[in-house]
Amino acid sequence: MLKKSPFIILFIGILVFSYSCKSYNKTLKSANNELKYETGIDLYESGDFNKALQFFDVLRAVYRGTERGEKLAYYTANCYFQLKNYEIASYYYKQYAQMYPMADKAEEASFLGAYCHYLASPRSSLDQSNTYLALKELQLYIDMYPKSSRVDEANKLMDDLRKKLEIKNYNIGKLYYRMEDFQAAITSFQNLLDDYPDTEFKEEVLYYIAKAYYTYAEKSVFTKKEERYEKTIEAYNNLLYMYPDSEYLKEVESINENAKKKIQQ
């Protein structure tokens, strides 16, 4: 008997599950909106977000503009958030904030809508469309709620996103350099310095710019060589001025001296 008990328990479980599914489907198809509402809320509160969404999708239009409609709109966004479907969650959070701007949770929904884009932002090596969108949405939130207690958090999130873009831009510059597309490498590195003047990569960037200009000059037509050797010297001087103890100076110093000799020839 003891050996059969697990099978009995399993059989009972299947029966209960089958019955609950039939009951659930029957409720979903019924015309009793009150019962559907209570069932959907119960499913949500028990953490069954996929099933809860099926009820909320049916009921949102029924209760639109009412207190229940507000609750359903917010819970719908939360369901997608819990399911880690951040793009759809963001859509519903923003929709909620637009439909119920005076609601107690309107500010929170606006923040969460932007935060979803932050969570959807991929690692720095991938396309950063969501990163730019998250920056835009977080800034809109700060502009709309400048006195919110969440402003500091929003600013920290934006700093994280900017750091990701900074790393991506730095790696793009290095990639161009390794590909020996020195003009593109120089442009990328210069843009990085313009966009992120306090970048932690500044020393390395100045080093790469000096080397890139020198190699670029070596490969250039005669009429362009002098200008690019001068840029090499300028890049070396910038590195020397900003990082007088840089480990890169010894290598770049020889490049600098060669560039000077080339100009004097």
**What span, in angstroms and rounded, lies between the C-alpha atoms of 92 and 59?**
15
Task: Give the tens place of pLDDT for each residue, 80-101.
Answer: 999 999 999 999 999 999 999 9
Residue 3 has pLDDT above 70, yes or no: no
Kindly list the structural domains of the chain, giving each domain's residue range(s) and its CATH number in brackets, ordered by start: 180-265 (1.20.58)
HSE (CB half, 13 Å, CA atoms) of 145? 21
**What span, in angstroms and rounded, lies between the C-alpha atoms of 205 and 243?**
12
Q: What is the pLDDT of residue 19?
A: 40
Q: How confident is the model at residue 16 (pLDDT cuts 50, 70, 90)?
A: very low
Residue 167 has pLDDT above 60, yes or no: yes
Q: Between residues 6 and 160, which one has the greater pLDDT?
A: 160
User: 17 exposed, middle or buried (CB, 10 Å; 0-12, 13-18, 19+)?
Assistant: exposed
Q: What is the mean pLDDT of residues 177-203?
A: 96
Helices (H), the chain: 5-29, 33-45, 49-59, 67-82, 86-99, 106-120, 129-144, 151-178, 182-195, 202-218, 222-242, 249-264
